[in-house]
Amino acid sequence: MPTDTAEFLRSIHQLEPQQWNALGAQRNPFTRHEFLAALERTHCVGAGSGWEPRYLALHDDRGLAAAAAAFVKTHSFGEFVFDFAWARAYERVGRRYYPKLTLAAPFTPATGPRLLVRADLDRNALAARLLEHLEEHAASHGLSGVHALFLDEPARAACAQRGWLLRRDCQFHWCNRGYASFDDYLGTFTAEKRKKARRERRRVADAGVRFETRFGGELDEPLLDRIYDLHRDTFVRHGHEPYLTRAFFSAVARALPESLMVKLAVHGRAVVAAAIFFCCEEALFGRYWGAAADYHSLHFEACYHQGIEFCIERRIARFEPGTQGEHKVSRGFEPAITWSAHYIADRQFRAAIAEYLAREAAAVQAYALQVQGHVPYRGRRTTGRL
């Protein structure tokens, strides 16, 4: 059995990649050792970033037994589970909300494993041990709490068992129901929505834009320069710099050559837009996008239709295109509840936040059910994820 001593490590490089991935991290590109190492090597996380690594590791006589990717946070940016109002409430009474401890894939609003346990061990017992050590670390280091974001079902259940506060949010996901082709998929739409989707695709094609699919191993440095510049421009136009550095794109393309995928929009010989994805056997994840010209419907085609077509061709079950965006619903994405869990050290704040989350949960659930009534499918079937 694992020892009772927990290590909190300052770098993923202190853990063996094979052992880390063997805990189940290999199932999701954002929890893989290679992804986390690329973030560190290229200074996306670490000193001065507000994301200070604290990898929790439990060992036994066979090596790494359980682990969690945790970060000491001095702000809430790049998390996509918004707690700024909680921080302001702490400040109003002279308390400090930061630093806090966060379990997450940095800059990535995608559901995935957060409590990693080796397959031969008791998952429930080890998950509870991890959470207990995280709580103790928060208490002993003056952290206001622990926040586990975008939880898979085992982690959600483990947090609930220990009494952490559960928070729900709503994203829009696409589910593959065994479609033979994109046309087969559109055949499940109402006539009006089917016509609209075909019109959007036709506008892009009529503009002379074609698409190329490139995986990380097929991206040379000049092409990565172009992709990064397009993606950065999207951030700059919204008033801030991107979370990820240019060096990260090169590092992750080399480290995960089959997980990074880019859809290039090409006009003539020029790359005019790029949509950046990550993929695994279970899901496709849309992450970033940028365009150098304003072609009608190009965003919808590059970020949504191309991703759906990719999933159909490769028989990938789920497509998570990112946060927000009711405009996704008319293109076949359906509301899906996502989960986070929160350990709040201060009892009074814990009670106040619990009351807030109860009200918020009812509103989120009502919103998801309302949006479900606007999906384009005949019969308005539900995903079963609400």
The string of DSSP codes covering 159-211 is: HHHTTPEEEEEEEEEEE----SSHHHHHTTB-HHHHHHHHHHHHHHHHTTEEE
pLDDT, position 381? 56
**For residue 386, is pLDDT > 80?**
no
Written as six digits, the tokens of 143 are 């952290």
**Same domain? 41 vs 162:** yes
Mean pLDDT of 245-272: 97
For residue 273, the enclosing domain spans 177-316
Q: What is the pLDDT of residues 39-86, one digit of tens each?
A: 999 999 999 999 999 999 999 999 999 999 999 999 999 999 999 999
pLDDT, position 4? 57
Written as six digits, the tokens of 110 are 């995608």
**Same domain? 350 vs 235:** no
Residues 278 and 289: beta-carbon distance below 8 Å: no
pLDDT, position 380? 58
Q: What is the pLDDT of residues 114-157, one digit of tens each?
A: 999 999 999 999 999 999 999 999 999 999 999 999 999 999 99
**For residue 165, is pLDDT > 60?**
yes
**Same domain? 340 vs 301:** no
3-state helix, strand and coil shares in percent for the chain, rounded to the nearest 5: 40, 25, 35
Q: Is 107 inside a domain boundary? A: yes
**Same domain? 139 vs 118:** yes
Q: Distance between CA atoms of 206 and 224, rounded to whole angstroms?
A: 27
Q: Distance between CA atoms of 228 and 247, rounded to whole angstroms?
A: 10
Q: Distance between CA atoms of 297 and 372, rounded to whole angstroms?
A: 23
Written as six digits, the tokens of 268 are 């003539």
Q: Is 235 inside a domain boundary? A: yes
**Same domain? 162 vs 188:** no
Query: How remote is the C-alpha of 68 from its chain's centroid?
Result: 16
Q: Is 326 inside a domain boundary? A: no
Mean pLDDT of 271-286: 97
Residue position matching structure tokens 């965003």:
299
**For residue 324, is pLDDT > 90?**
no
Q: Is 288 inside a domain boundary? A: yes
Burial class (CB in 10 A: 0-12, 13-18, 19+), 46: middle
Q: Is 330 inside a domain boundary? A: no
Number of domains in the chain: 2
- The per-residue pLDDT of the chain, averaged, comes to 95
pTM of this prediction? 0.94
Among 49, 111, 106, smallest CA distance to 79 is for 106
Let me know the angle formed at the C-alpha of 14 by 253 and 64, rounded to the nearest 5 degrees: 100
Written as six digits, the tokens of 34 are 């290679």
**Same domain? 185 vs 238:** yes
Q: Which of 3-7, 38-42, 172-176, 276-280 is the least confident region?
A: 3-7
Q: Is 381 inside a domain boundary? A: no
Give the domain CATH number at 81.
3.40.630.30
**Same domain? 133 vs 185:** no
Q: Is 137 inside a domain boundary? A: yes
Mean pLDDT of 350-354: 97
pLDDT, position 142? 97
Q: Distance between CA atoms of 231 and 222, rounded to whole angstroms?
A: 14
**For residue 385, is pLDDT > 90?**
no
**Same domain? 153 vs 88:** yes
**For residue 2, is pLDDT > 60?**
no
Mean pLDDT of 260-275: 97
**Cβ count near 270 (within 10 Å):** 10
pLDDT, position 3? 56
Mean pLDDT of 5-15: 94
**Same domain? 27 vs 103:** yes
**For residue 384, is pLDDT > 70?**
no
**Same domain? 310 vs 364:** no
Mean pLDDT of 336-363: 97
CA dihedral defined by 285, 287, 288, 294, rounded to 10 degrees?
Answer: 50
Q: What is the pLDDT of residues 364-383, one digit of tens each?
A: 999 999 999 999 999 755 55
Q: Is 251 inside a domain boundary? A: yes
